[in-house]
Amino acid sequence: MERGAAVSRDVDDKMLRELKASIMNRARLYYYIFEETKKTCGEEKAIDIFKRGIYQRGLEISQSYPPEAREGNIQSLADHFVNESAGGGEIFEPAKVEVKGSGCILRMNSCPLVEAWEEMGLSSEEIAILCDMASAIDYGTFEGMGYDLEFTHQIGRGESYCELVISKGA
């Protein structure tokens, strides 16, 4: 019985490492594709293209939230954000800071995207731009359900966590 539990833990750890590596690979792809797009159409246009594409993926993700979250139940939204996070929460380390009324404050305490960009030796300015583009997925997710989103802190801007302030839109 002990052996089975140890093997299961090893498999779980291996799967988490592979999931994190996959997300870090996505970060590298974002960077390389962005660099090539900038060469073709300039930085401003490249940022716009990236944000629009990533936002579209967020809109798709919004449909995976429970109907009650999409209909304005902020507790359901916060629960889904935390409970359905990649790797059971081990990758982005999400947390609910506050949930009340028609709004909530959520956090991500880790970001393998930023970690990958730092490993690549990118400047803080480059990381902030890439983080801004990558966060379009969150805007698409929450705006796709009729919520407003504001990032008050971002790991990609040198802070220790990302904080998302979400409120029900008009």
Contact 122, 30 (CB under 8 A): no
Q: Which residue has the tokens 């583009």?
A: 133
The pLDDT value recorded for residue 11 is 59
CATH number at residue 155: 3.30.1380.20
| Separation of alpha carbons 141 and 8, rounded Å | 33
The pLDDT value recorded for residue 4 is 45
% of the chain residues with pLDDT over 90: 89
List, for residues 15-31, the tens digit of each pLDDT value: 999 999 999 999 999 99
Using CA atoms in the order 92, 98, 100, 102, what is the torsion angle rounded to 10 degrees?
A: -40
CA distances, 22 to each of 15, 82, 107, 124 (Å): 10, 20, 22, 22
Q: Using 50, 70 and 90 to split pLDDT, how confident is the model at 108?
A: very high
Lookup: tokens for 11: 């498999």
Instruction: Collect all residues with Cβ–Cβ distance below 8 Å to 13 and sequence separation of at least 6.
Output: none
The pLDDT value recorded for residue 3 is 44
The boundaries of the domain holding residue 45 are 2-168
Q: Using 50, 70 and 90 to split pLDDT, how confident is the model at 166?
A: very high
Question: Which residues sit opposite 107 in a β-bridge?
Answer: 95, 163
List, for residues 125-153, the tens digit of each pLDDT value: 999 999 999 999 999 999 999 999 999 99
116-122 average pLDDT score: 98
- Pick from 132, 130, 152, 149: which is nearest to 141 by CA? 149
List, for residues 27-75, the tens digit of each pLDDT value: 999 999 999 999 999 999 999 999 999 999 999 999 999 999 999 999 9
Number of domains in the chain: 1
